[in-house]
Amino acid sequence: MADVCQKVTGQNEYTVDFDNDGYNIGRLATLEYQGRKTFISFSEVEIRSRNSSFQSFPSALSRYILDENQNKEICFYFHPDTTGNWETPYFIFMYRLMRTANVNFLNANEYLRSPITSFTSPEDIILHKDQMRSRNPGNRSTYLTRGPQNQLQIFGKTYGANKYETTILCLAISEIANTDVELYEIEEGGLTKLPQTSKDAIESLGVVHIFTSNRTIERIDFEENDSLRSVQYIYNLLEKLGDKKCALCECDIPQIIQGAHIWPVADIKRENHLTQDEKLNLALDGDNGLWLCNNHHKLLDSHIIKLFEDNTVKYKSSLNESQSNYLSEITTNNRLPENIVNESMSEYIVKRNRNIPVEEYADFIN
Ligand SMILES: [Zn+2]
State in Å: Cα 333 to ligand 1 middle: 9
State in Å: Cα 256 to ligand 1 middle: 9
257 closest CA partner among 265, 275, 270, 245: 245
CA distance 25 to 61: 10
Quickly state the pLDDT bin for 6 (edges 50, 70, 90).
Answer: confident
* pLDDT at 22 > cutoff 70: no
Looking at every residue in the chain, the average pLDDT score rounds to 90
State in Å: Cα 238 to ligand 1 middle: 17
pLDDT, tens only, 249-306 = 999 999 999 999 999 999 999 999 999 999 999 999 999 999 999 999 999 999 999 9
Higher pLDDT, 217 or 202: 202
pLDDT, tens only, 96-153 = 999 999 999 999 999 999 999 999 999 999 988 888 877 766 566 789 999 999 999 9
What lies within 8 Å, CB to CB, of 59 at 6+ separation is 24, 25, 26, 28, 195, 197, 198
State in Å: Cα 277 to ligand 1 middle: 32
SS3 content of the chain, % helix, strand, coil (to 5): 40, 20, 40
- Residue 21: per-residue pLDDT: 62
